[in-house]
Amino acid sequence: MTGGAEVPPALEGEHDDGLEEERAFFGRRKGKRLRDAQEIRLETLLPALRIDLPPGGGRIDPLTLFGQMDAPPEEIWLEIGFGGGEHLAARAAAHPRIGFIGAEAFVNGVVKLLADIEARGLRNVRVRDGDVAPLLARLPDACLGQVSLLYPDPWPKRRQRKRRFVSDESLAQIARLLKDGGVFRFASDIDDYAGWTLARVARCPDLRWEAATSRDWLQPFPGWPGTRYEAKALLTGRRPTYLEFSRIPR
Ligand SMILES: C[S@@+](CC[C@H](N)C(=O)[O-])C[C@H]1O[C@@H](n2cnc3c(N)ncnc32)[C@H](O)[C@@H]1O
């Protein structure tokens, strides 16, 4: 990361202070001061849910992460950049036999998800509280049934676009992690980012856009609980695009 004061417009006004630098992550790590109850959840609940990266670059067997579930998860689904976690918590509640991994680098978002996990009594969620990239590198091939990337930071200025999460490299990594027929979901209210993603998927040999009609990208995914950023986009009159790609069988 190069740091500096550039903030994606979607984040302006959300995160008031604190900007940590890290080589490959461009967002903010901390915002408003946490309340006592949030600090307590970070100290007591997060250690049990956090996914630790094994030292020495070792791989993680994601099936071992869900010992709290009554039975091994039928599939594992990943959400990258879950924000406040509203979508992740709603989906985890709706799919109790799926194991969910959520990754979010912004600690104020992580504490919101923790409160939701506690309130709903969820036992099928594990958390990466940091940059998702090192986690992706540690997961084995074909271990995920779904990956969601919802309203990623838009980085709208031309010179910032290389910071966007979607790149040829990240798509190759997502394709590596998806099972054959697995699904990659992307949503954005920034038309240019949707086009950017379509262009990169078109040259990714392992992913295919399955849309047949405009309904497929204008309507939310089935069972869609929405996200906080989506609600903000709709309020300001921006229309989201929903893209679903499938992993071409190996
Ligand atoms: C614009 S917000 C959208 C949040 C949420 N998905 C929603 O729709 O409400 C993008 C989120 O992605 C997170 N993020 C960006 N890059 C990330 C990374 N490499 N690893 C983990 N989280 C990341 C940011 O911290 C931010 O909370």
Query: What is the CATH number for 81?
Result: 3.40.50.150
Predicted local confidence at residue 91, as pLDDT: 98
Q: From the centroid of its chain, how far is CA 188? A: 13
Beta carbon of 105 within 6 Å of any ligand 1 atom? yes
Nearest to 141 by CA among 62, 243, 72: 62
The tally of CA atoms less than 13 A away on the side-chain side of residue 44 is 9
Task: Report if residue 135 sits inside a domain.
Answer: yes
* Ligand 1 contact via 106 beta carbon (within 6 Å): yes
Best residue for ligand 1 mutational test, from 26, 51, 106 (most atoms within 8 Å of Cβ): 106
Q: Which atom of ligand 1 is nearest to the CA of 10?
A: 1
Ligand 1 within 6 A of 241 CB?
A: no
Classify residue 23: in a domain, yes or no. Answer: yes
Whether 63 is in a domain gets the answer no
Instruction: Locate 124 and state its tokens.
Output: 């099928």
Give the ligand 1 atom nearest the CA of 25: 19
- Using alpha carbons, select from 98, 193, 84, 187 the residue that is nearest to residue 146: 98
- In a domain, residue 194? The reply is yes
Half-sphere exposure of 113 (CA within 13 A, CB side): 35
Q: Atom 14 in ligand 1: which residue has the minimum CA distance?
A: 81
- Could you tell me the distance, in angstroms and rounded to a whole number, from the CA of residue 121 to the centre of ligand 1? 24
Beta bridge partners of 76: 99
Domain assignment present for 4: no
Number of domains in the chain: 1
CA dihedral 236, 237, 238, 244 (to 10 degrees): 120
What confidence score (pLDDT) does residue 206 get? Answer: 98
**Using CA atoms, how far apart are residues 3 and 215, in angstroms rounded to an integer?**
39
Task: Give the pLDDT of residue 32.
Answer: 76
Ligand 1 centroid to Cα of residue 150, in Å, is 8
Using the atom order of ligand 1, give the atom closest to the CA of residue 86.
9
Three-state SS across 50-68?
ECCCCHHHCCCCHHHHHCC
Query: Please, which residues have CB within 8 angstroms of residue 38's CB and are 6 or more apart in sequence?
Result: 111, 114, 115
Q: 128 - beta bridge partners?
A: 103
Q: Rounded to whole angstroms, how far apart are CA atoms 186 and 166?
A: 10
Dihedral sign for Cα atoms in the order 202, 244, 209, 141: positive
Domain annotation covers residue 1: no
Q: For residue 15, is it within any domain?
A: yes
Q: Which helix (H) or strand (E) holds 79?
A: strand 75-80
pLDDT in tens, the chain (250 residues): 333 333 333 333 333 222 333 446 677 777 778 788 888 889 999 999 999 999 898 999 999 999 999 999 999 999 999 999 999 999 999 999 999 999 999 999 999 999 999 999 999 999 999 999 999 999 999 999 999 999 999 998 999 999 999 999 999 999 999 999 999 999 999 989 999 999 999 999 999 999 999 999 999 999 999 999 999 999 999 999 999 999 999 9
Task: Report the separation in Å between the CA atom of 78 and the middle of ligand 1, taken as the mean of its atom positions.
Answer: 13
* Structural domain span for residue 164: 9-55+69-247
CA distance 90 to 94: 6
Give strand pairing partners of 247.
Answer: 207
Residue 238 lies in a domain: yes
Rounded to 5 degrees, φ, ψ at 244 are: -125, 130
Atom of ligand 1 nearest to the CA of 28: 25
b/e per residue 96-107 (b: at least 16 CB within 10 A): eebbbbbbbbbb
Ligand 1 centroid vs 211 CA: distance in angstroms?
25
